[in-house]
Structures are given as structure tokens and as C-alpha cells.
Amino acid sequence: MASNPKLYELGADLEETIAEIVENEGLLTDELEARLNALDLAFDEKVERVVMAIRAEQARAEMVRNEIRRLAELAAPHDQAADSLKAYLFTQMQRVGKRKVDMPLAKAWIQKNSRPSIRYAGADPDNLTDLPEELVRTVKHFDGRAAYEAWKAGEQLPENVYVEEGQHLRVK
């Protein structure tokens, strides 16, 4: 009875090709595809080994995402501490009336923002009828969800709205 190959048994050629795909920012070039096609394996065995490689790459990507989250959590208190200290220093310099401090190892100064903040202070921020039209931006977007619901309900969609039913590969 044949046993399933282990991940480390994928074969040097396949491992090397996968490593080159990763080095190529994940893009499968024509040359790399030709190398995959040239692997001396039965089709079903090739599918099995490529699926195993897909799983391994997905697991590696998830490990990297987890490490990014972990490092971001480590960085957050340091960012917050820097922001708090900057706010403290700003307040203290304003309190003593000093706009600039120039020392050998560090400099700090209070300067005017390059652009002022402009905000609407009306009673209802969702109702902008008291503003002139040139100060109100209206944004329209295609509502794909509404189009999908209409299509699902059997409604005729406008001729410039296309429905494309795609396919994808699932691996287990």
C-alpha cells in the first residue's frame, strides 16, 4: 500500500521551483510554469504534490501575518508613548511660552500647521442643506450588492451591467 508523500518528500525540483515563485513575488512566470509542466510525475501525483505545496505556502503566509500582528502589538505602546510625550512637551512649551528649544542633542519647536482644519459645525452633519452647493460633495458608486440581488430575483439588468459567473480551485 502506497503511503502519502510527506511535505519534505515533494522533490527537490518542485521545492526549488516553488522557492523561485516566492522569490518572484509569488508570480508564476512562463519559465517557471514550463518547469512545473516538465516535472516527471503522473498527473494525479503532480496535483497532490502541488496541493501540498499550496497548503505549505498558505501556512507560511499565515505565520508571517501572525508575526506581523505580534510585532504590531509590540510597537503600539511605543507609538503611544511617543505620541503622549510629544503632546506633553507641546503643552509644556505652550505653558511656559517657549516656541523653540535648541539643545546639542535635540531640537523642538512649535510651528503653524501647513493647512488649517476646516469643519462643518451645523446642527445635523447628515443634512447639509444650509451649505452652498459648491461646498458639498456628492459621491455616487455602483452598488454591486443591489445589482446582485436584482439579478438573483430574476430582474433584467441594464445592458452595461455584466454578470460573470467565474470558477475557482478549492484544495483540501
Q: What pLDDT band is residue 132 in, cutting at 50, 70 and 90?
A: confident
Query: Which amino acid belongs to residue 110?
Result: I
Q: Which three cell numbers stand for residue 130?
A: 444650509
Give residues with Cβ within 8 angstroms of 39, minimum separation 6. Answer: 11, 13, 14, 17, 46
Task: Report pTM.
Answer: 0.65
C-beta separation of 80 from 86 below 8 A: no
Q: Are 16 and 39 in contact (CB under 8 A)?
A: no
Count the neighbouring beta carbons within 10 Å of the beta carbon of residue 40. Answer: 8
Most confident of 31-40, 133-142, 150-159: 150-159
What CA–CA distances, in Å, run from 165 to 142, 148, 162?
19, 11, 10
C-alpha 41/C-alpha 145 separation (Å) is 44
pLDDT for 7 beyond 80: no
